[in-house]
Amino acid sequence: MKHLMGEGWHLRPAGGATGEAYVAEQGEQKIFIKRNSSPFLAVLSAEGIVPKLLWTKRLESGDVITAQRWVNGRELKSFDMNSSRIGRLLGKIHRSKELLDMFKRLGNEPLTPDRLLEDLVDKANHLGVNESVVEDAFVWLRNHIQDIHVDDYVVCHSDVNHNNWIVSEDGSLYLIDWDGANVADPALDLSALLYLYVPRNEWEAWLDSYGCSLTPELIKRMNWYMVAQSIESVLYHREKRQLVELNKWNTILTDVLTKVNVRISE
């Protein structure tokens, strides 16, 4: 990686789960380097959704290295997430035809409810997970899957955790880390953001800034996707043996099932 930067640049790991991100510094200059970032980073940059893309280089190995402008700022905290600015940016992302066209050109298949449920069941079987709360959740998902199909899919970030939102010193807002993006029902993003961060009595106002209304149909879809994503998080932390996070997501899953009137088996 160092030979790509030339003389005088110093690289250090930027952290993250993949270990493929670096901070490159030379004097006052500072840029963010990543290996095999999202293939539609250029579109995200052009629309101001991520920090500006500076250059892209393809290596002989086939790996692609990208460099972005370094942003001095901070990650958002949980209490920041009910801001109308978050709603406006997520609405802009979901309505972006450029992002959707780029994603389709890459040949990615939409993440339909059936495909999501099938993937979750396969992973649970692979891990040997048979806890009653997960089994009850799967039963509920199967029983309600016919209620949540939509015709208009959008590009979803798929991990709208507060740590992936950055506000710069000049006040610009960005949503970063697009490696897990999908074409899916917008309720995939909306459910996690609203359930985890926005008080229920503020959902209507938040969705107004996003650009839609809180309808019974949307609530059904968000319920379904929140149950599915809670299972996904339980399985992820179970596989990683991260017990604190596993217990947290087991509690979240139980709470969500209670809200949708599921009686948890003993």
- How far from 256 is each of 28, 171, 253, CA to CA, in Å? 48, 34, 5
* Nearby residues of 78 by Cβ (< 8 Å), 6 or more positions away: 162, 196, 197
Please tell me whether residue 23 adopts helix, strand or coil conformation: strand
Calculate the CA 159 to chain-centre distance. Answer: 2
**CA–CA distance, 266 with 263 (Å, rounded to integer):** 9
Amino acid at 179: D
**Which of 75, 79, 53 shows the shortest CA–CA distance to 66?**
53
Concerning whether 152 is annotated as a catalytic residue, the answer is no
* Catalytic position from the list 159, 177, 179, 185: 159
Alpha helices in the chain (DSSP H): 2-5, 41-46, 84-94, 97-105, 113-127, 132-144, 187-197, 203-210, 216-240, 243-259
**CA–CA distance, 103 with 155 (Å, rounded to integer):** 8
What phi and psi values does residue 182 have, to the nearest 5 degrees? -140, 155
Query: What is the number of other CB atoms lying within 10 angstroms of the CB of residue 257?
Result: 20
Catalytic residues: 159
